Amino acid sequence: MGAVLDRPGSCLIRHESLCADPERWIRVLERAAGVEGIDRGVLERRFNGWEGYVEPAGLSEAEEALVRELTAPALARLGGIPEASAATE
């Protein structure tokens, strides 16, 4: 499964799914948001590459635990963390 639609205007898409089949998932996103014509060019842009960009600080162990707790239901519906991502934890 690549996306979860719980209610109108709500769409959770796996990054891996979006990268593997961007056209499909942009159409899903358009339907979920009730819009048409999302510019596919945004997939080619880097939004945090400007001069002066400051890389975010890492999360503390407590913050990481909170993120895992809060995202567990969505991750379960999406089938968990992909093996490649889990290996980097």
56 to each of 18, 47, 48, 53, 70, how far by Cα in Å? Answer: 23, 14, 11, 9, 20
Q: Distance from first CA to last CA of the chain, Å, rounded?
A: 22
Kindly give the confidence (pLDDT) of every residue in the chain, 89 residues in length, as a single tens digit, with 9 standing for 90 and above. Answer: 455 555 555 677 888 888 899 999 999 888 888 889 999 998 888 888 888 888 889 999 999 999 888 888 888 877 777 654 443 34
Q: Which residues contact 41 (CB under 8 A, 6 or more apart)?
A: none
CA dihedral (32, 34, 38, 40) positive or negative: positive
Domain boundaries, the chain: 1-41+61-80
The pTM for the full model equals 0.56
